[in-house]
Every structure is written in structure tokens, then in C-alpha cells.
Amino acid sequence: MSFEEIYTGKLLGAIRGFDRLRFRGTIRELNTGGGITRILNYLRILMKDFKFFFIIIAKSLKLKAKSKCRTALRSFFQCIIHNE
């Protein structure tokens, strides 16, 4: 039995002809502290304002994701993890 036959009721669709996906628009420099500093310098954002900048970006991303889900008639699920 193939994967599609086993999970036919749970699959929403399939991508054919690709062995990997490439997402555009990633900023690999965000993986390092130096990279974040360079990006903030480029955007002329002071380190003391980083928290507010990040909150604005996160809210914007969340709104766009919710909008895309609504357009595609999909549900939006947010996983919140609290570190104590």
C-alpha cells in the first residue's frame, strides 16, 4: 500500500515532481547574534527598541497568516509555550 492509500482520508493534497521545497524570503542571518545586530543596524533600529520592533513584526506576521488561512478556508492554530 502506498502512503496516499493509507492516509487518503487525512490528506488535503499532494505535491508532485519535487523532492524538496524552497521557501523564499528567509533571513539566515537571524540565526546569529551578529546577524541580528547587522540587520538592526541596516534598518536603523536601536538595540533598546528591538523588543518593540519584534512585537510589531510578530503581530504583522500573525495577522497575515490568519488572513491567508481565512482566504484558504483553513483553521488557524497557534501553539503557545510558556517557559518557566
pLDDT of 3-17, one tens digit each? 778 888 887 776 666
Over 90: is that where the pLDDT of 2 sits? no
pTM of the model: 0.50
Dmax (CA) of the chain: 57
Tally of domains within the chain: 1
Residue 42, in any domain of the structure: yes
pLDDT in tens, 32-52: 778 888 888 999 999 999 899
The amino acid that residue 65 corresponds to is A
Burial tier of 53 (Cβ tally within 10 Å: 0-12, 13-18, 19+): middle
**Residue scoring higher pLDDT (49 or 78):** 49
Residue 4, in any domain of the structure: no
Over 80: is that where the pLDDT of 65 sits? yes
- Rounded Cα distance between 10 and 16, Å, is 17
Where do we find the cell 517557559?
83
Residue 63's domain spans which residues?
A: 26-71
